[in-house]
Every structure is written in structure tokens, then in C-alpha cells.
């Protein structure tokens, strides 16, 4: 499987956030599958999918970010990549994705569930 590098610019990450500790994860406390189950069960994606004019990509994404807040935790966000103008539902996490490169470990170039990995552009 070849690794592709593409550019992503002017999109928003909108979804549900879980603050999580890597140390707990490494000790076997993996809460991520249950978080995915919860997001499917509570129709997290429905409010985003209804905004058809603002969908950047219809794939669901799981993204780790916000590592350096000084608490030993990171954010894991499950959601969708959306365009400018999207209405962020109450209780949802929102972040502008700055112009960046990203890798997609898929020969078709699809953004794959849990495989969107931003890399440093510098």
C-alpha cells in the first residue's frame, strides 16, 4: 500500500470530542472503539450530513489532536470535514484545519476512517 501526500486547505473539522490519556491507552484502556459506537448510536453524523452544501468529504474521520495542553492528554475527535459556512451543532467540537499536508494510507486516495493524519508542513 503506497502512502499518498496531499494538501488540505480551508476545511473545518466538526464532530464530538473525547479527551483521553495516552498512558491509559497504552496500558490497555482503549476507549476509542466505544466512542465510535456512541457516535453512531447517538447519530452524531446526521446533523452534519443534513448540511449537504457544506460537506467537504462524506467520509467519517477520527483525528487525534491538541497534544500539548499540559495535562498529558490529547483530543480524539470523531466527525466530518466540512466547508466554510457549516452550522456547528450545540455540543460539537469545531476546529479550522489550516493549510496542511496529510497522509492517506490508501491507494485510492480516500480519506479512511481513523487514518487521517496531519503532518507538520515545516
Q: CA 74 to CA 119: how far, in whole Å?
A: 16
Domains and CATH numbers, the chain: 4-119 (3.20.80.10)
What's the pTM value of the predicted model, to 2 decimals? 0.75
For the chain, first and last CA: distance in Å?
A: 25
- Residue 1: pLDDT band by 50, 70, 90 thresholds? very low
Strand partners, 74: 20
pLDDT digits (tens, 9 = 90+) for 28-73: 888 889 999 999 999 999 999 999 999 998 889 888 888 767 777 8
Q: Is the pLDDT of residue 98 over 70?
A: yes
Amino acid at each position: 500500500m503506497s502512502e499518498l501526500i496531499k494538501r488540505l486547505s480551508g476545511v473545518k473539522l466538526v464532530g464530538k470530542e473525547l479527551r483521553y490519556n495516552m498512558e491509559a491507552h497504552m496500558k490497555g484502556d482503549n476507549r476509542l472503539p466505544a466512542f465510535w459506537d456512541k457516535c453512531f448510536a447517538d447519530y452524531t453524523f446526521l446533523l452534519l450530513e443534513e448540511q449537504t452544501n457544506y460537506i467537504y468529504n462524506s467520509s467519517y474521520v477520527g483525528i487525534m489532536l491538541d497534544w500539548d495542553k499540559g495535562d498529558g492528554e490529547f483530543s480524539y475527535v470523531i466527525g466530518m470535514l466540512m466547508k466554510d459556512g457549516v452550522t456547528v451543532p450545540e455540543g460539537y467540537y469545531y476546529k479550522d484545519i489550516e493549510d496542511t499536508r496529510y497522509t492517506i494510507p490508501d491507494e485510492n486516495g480516500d480519506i479512511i476512517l481513523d487514518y487521517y493524519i496531519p503532518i507538520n508542513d515545516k
